[in-house]
Amino acid sequence: MIKDFSGKTAVLTGAGSGFGLECARIGAQRGMNLVLVDVQPDALAAAEAEMQALGAPVLACRVDVSQPAAMDALAAQVKARFGAPHFVFNNAGVGAGGLIWENSVKDWEWVLGVNLWGVIHGVRAFTPMMLDAARADPAYQGHIVNTASMAGLLTPPNMGIYNVSKHAVVALTETLYQDLKLVTDQIGASVLCPYFVATGIHNSERNRPAGMPAGELTASQRIQQAMTDKATGSGKVSAADVAQKVFDAVQSDQFYVFSHPKALGNVKSRSDAILAIQNPPDPFAERPEIGVGLRAALRQSGG
């Protein structure tokens, strides 16, 4: 856990928008050195200018987190400028939906590349550096936060590719927590599992690499896009609210971070079914009208 953030260094991926940008704002207010990482140049430049105006020392890096060499180079830049970071937020993410058999290989490569491999590379690149710092300084405290989703604890239909990526991040982060506990008391880990929050992820196609073109949207993909747009647009919890929860978790060494704790009822239903060896329940049990509407829309579309 980190009690005092002043003078500490934060590495934030997906820093140009959403949770990454809001965490950068909190970090600047608390006197942190900020490493802003994003793939979108205009958003990154705007975030850099804003944080500098707040007086924060900033290193802004345009990086595709799915690329191992780029993440290794980022780690080297961070070490050269600020030394080992104290807070690493592996947050960059993209969204994709539709019936699971309709996703192309390029869809899978893109989503898993950012959502899963981006986290893997962040953990791989920065954890050894943080462990070295902990061994060298008994006062060093570090924390790694990986962004998953409630879709990492549930299996809602028509968004399987996203579910797979986020379940993997939950498993990775739980294992990271256990592994760190074996070797140090100075570095913690948390997993962020937001529900529907307006962050810009539903517009993530804007950052899709040219080498992974999207095909024409299927009916199920169009339906999922519309549902996601509506859900994120009507949400009452803001990205700034979630960023505050992230900092609170880092400060108190809390592992699971939820934007909407009431949604845990659906997680309990799934866990109960597993323990009872029953078939998977409705993942929208808390709001059954969602599943009813989705089923009707898909059957009407011929999906």
Give the span between the Cα atoms of 242 and 154, in whole angstroms: 19
CA 96 to CA 93: how far, in whole Å? 10
Q: Which amino acid would we find at residue 130?
A: M
Tokens of 34: 């900020």
**Burial of 50 per CB tally in 10 Å (0-12, 13-18, 19+):** middle
Extract the tokens encoding 28: 């600047």
- Provide the residue type at 2 as one letter: I
Identity of the residue numbered 167? H
Backbone angles phi, psi at 167, to 5 degrees: -60, -40
Strands (E), 14-109: 33-38, 58-62, 87-90
The Cα 233–Cα 220 span in angstroms is: 20
The token pair at 77 is: 């830049």
Give me the half-sphere count of Cα atoms (radius 13 Å) on the Cβ side of residue 172.
Answer: 24
Annotated catalytic residue 195: no
User: Minimal CA–CA distance to 190: which of 127, 113, 253, 245?
Assistant: 253
Task: Choose the catalytic residue: 140, 162, 195, 256.
Answer: 162
CA distances, 124 to each of 72, 118, 174 (Å): 9, 10, 15
- SS3 labels along 244-266: HHHHHHHHHCCCEEECCHHHHHH
Helix (H, G, I), strand (E, B) or coil at 103: coil
Give the active site residues.
Answer: 162
